[in-house]
Amino acid sequence: MPTGVALRDAREQLFNAAERILLRDGAGALTSRAVTTEAGCAKGVLHRHFEDFDAFLADLVLDRIGRLDAQAAALREAAGTGTVAGHLADALTELFGPVAMAIVGLVVSRDALRTRLRRTTPRGVPLLTEATAMIASYLRAERDLGRIAADADLDALAPTLIGAGHLLFAGQEGVPPEAQAVRRTVTAVIAGVVREAPPASA
């Protein structure tokens, strides 16, 4: 088997195992032995592919951040369709799934991991910072289409939406808030800048 394929498969297997541990047992249970045991492979497999356990965790977080690219592209392409509040509510719900929330908790709890991630995310909380950029990019697209006020402060609005979304989804023990609650929060945050016509009554 080509080395590149073997490496990719091993990484994905280890990442998936780490995510299962995070969801089931929390960040405190995440060790190299726990990951390799969960993945059903020898402990040496992790250390063959990663410098150390913090390097593994950093790559796990970067992998999750990389997955935002597809969501960000889809969100920008949706600009001008549907409603701004609807797109933002859906984006926050997808963003703050159980795994992402567990990843954020992991980053916050491990100083060495945050230090490593400063190489790619110099400011803010990794994953949340990139998610804020995703939301800001979408808002800019809607502003260009005239559905967001031209003078809207997107640099303030995007982190406000991310912060409000994080608070809504945090501590839910795997049970997300109701869709109506997410939509209501988003609507309140963007109420002063939305320029689209409200949907017609049924």
Place 164 in a pLDDT band, splitting at 50, 70 and 90. Answer: very high
CATH architecture under which domain 53-190 falls: Orthogonal Bundle (1.10)
Per-residue pLDDT of 62-102, as tens digits, reads: 999 999 999 999 999 999 999 999 999 999 999 999 999 99
Instruction: Please report, for the chain, the start and end positions of each structural domain, with discontinuous segments joined by +.
Output: 1-49, 53-190
- Does the pLDDT at position 108 exceed 60? yes
Q: Which two tokens stand for residue 109?
A: 């709890």
Partners of 148 in the beta sheet? 194
1-49: CATH number: 1.10.10.60
Exposure string of 82-115, with b = 16+ CB inside 10 Å and e = fewer, is ebbbbbbbbbbbebbebbbbbbbebbeebeebbe
- pLDDT value of residue 18: 96
- pLDDT value of residue 174: 64
